[in-house]
């Protein structure tokens, strides 16, 4: 890929999109374009078509999505299903019709069945039922994966899908109503520390196991996919290592410096019991994560402290 190639990053202001922009700039790419949601509503097919027609990007990286944790997915199922399909379908269709040479679609490990064998292999897609608490988002992302696969199969175009595990890092969402588990814990432990190390109540039993990938490592995988022609349509992106939610909580508690109690509210849902990615396909091609969890949590907490008055808020 030429360093002057025009690359459109959809969702360039989000946690993932901004990390991709930083990674591309660090590699010397000089022709990056992005539009805010106010400048371009990706749910509007005509607006997307007109934008792609005018800009004629060589590459589109789709890091735009309606995202949130268990609570947000459960409370807003229609928005999570419909808006994600609108965003990705408009981008994928315009990229195909207007002959964009490369398309990188980003999804999530929640596309895999709730009780699929562990670790999750790419071929487990659509082999069983999904986790009910986030199936709306998962179904939308599955349609994106299949659309890219269909274009690749029918038209031999370089459309590829990357499915990351749970992502976290700088520029994350720390709104307790809509955030994912790791940033929510950082905020809860921090606020409890500020309030005299009061107890922190967390959802579930603490026994589910989760895998976490620092967002800069995800960005590096996108650059890898950009600079190489990947032989298959779907790749998992993760560390290949998981921990219990209880271990995660204790790691974050130590990083934040909170010394109070942790209370587990077992009346709240645990979600999927385990969700570990098989990342052997990406490893075989030459990509591997670089940031381990403890280091990543420390970097994320430092960013949180530096931006505590202005971190991203998601409004439904």
156 labelled binding-site residue: no
Is 137 a catalytic site residue?
yes
Residue 312 has pLDDT above 60, yes or no: no
Q: Is residue 189 part of a domain?
A: yes
Contacts of 240 (CB under 8 A, 6+ apart): 119, 211, 276, 277, 278, 279, 280, 283
* Structural domain range at position 190: 7-306
Q: Is residue 248 part of a domain?
A: yes
pLDDT in tens, 27-59: 999 999 999 999 999 999 999 999 999 999 999
Q: Residue 298's domain is classified under what CATH number?
A: 3.40.50.720
141 labelled binding-site residue: yes
List 234's β-bridge partners, or say none: 161
274 labelled binding-site residue: no
pLDDT in tens, 203-213: 999 999 999 99
Q: Is residue 313 part of a domain?
A: no
pTM: 0.91
Residue 124 has pLDDT above 60, yes or no: yes
Instruction: Identify the active-site residue in 29, 112, 137, 168.
Output: 137
> How many separate domains does the chain show?
1
Q: Is residue 233 part of a domain?
A: yes
Q: Is residue 314 part of a domain?
A: no
Q: Is residue 1 part of a domain?
A: no
167 labelled binding-site residue: yes
pLDDT in tens, 267-309: 998 877 888 999 999 999 999 999 999 999 999 999 999 998 8
Q: Is residue 312 part of a domain?
A: no
Which of helix, strand or coil describes residue 60? strand
CA distance 91 to 142: 15
Q: Is residue 124 part of a domain?
A: yes
């Amino acid at each position: 890929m030429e360093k002057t190639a025009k690359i459109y990053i959809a969702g360039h202001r989000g946690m993932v999109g901004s990390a991709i922009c930083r990674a591309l700039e660090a590699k010397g790419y000089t022709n990056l374009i992005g539009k805010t949601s106010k400048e371009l509503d990706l749910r509007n097919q005509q607006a997307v078509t007109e934008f792609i027609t005018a800009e004629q990007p060589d590459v589109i990286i789709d890091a735009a999505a309606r995202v949130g944790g268990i609570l947000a997915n459960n409370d807003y199922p229609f928005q999570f299903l419909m808006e994600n399909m609108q965003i990705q379908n408009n981008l994928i269709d315009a990229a195909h019709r207007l002959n964009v040479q490369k398309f990188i679609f980003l999804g999530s490990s929640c596309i895999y069945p709730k009780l699929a064998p562990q670790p999750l292999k790419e071929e487990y897609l659509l082999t069983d039922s999904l986790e009910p608490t986030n199936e709306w988002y998962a179904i939308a992302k599955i349609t994106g994966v299949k659309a890219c696969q269909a274009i690749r199969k029918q038209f031999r175009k370089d459309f590829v899908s990357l499915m990351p595990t749970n992502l976290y890092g700088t520029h994350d969402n720390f709104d307790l109503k809509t955030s994912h588990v790791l940033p929510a814990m950082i905020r809860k432990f921090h606020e409890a520390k500020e309030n005299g190390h009061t107890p922190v109540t967390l959802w579930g039993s603490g026994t589910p196991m989760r895998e976490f990938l620092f967002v800069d490592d995800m960005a590096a995988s996108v650059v890898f996919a950009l600079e190489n022609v990947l032989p298959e349509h779907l790749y998992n992106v993760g560390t290949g290592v998981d921990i219990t939610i209880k271990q995660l909580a204790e790691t974050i508690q130590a990083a934040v410096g909170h010394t109070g109690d942790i209370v587990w509210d077992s009346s709240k849902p645990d979600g999927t019991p385990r969700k570990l990615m098989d990342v052997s396909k990406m490893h075989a091609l030459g990509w591997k994560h670089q940031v381990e969890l403890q280091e990543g949590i420390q970097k994320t907490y430092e960013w949180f402290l530096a931006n505590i008055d202005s971190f991203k808020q998601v409004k439904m």
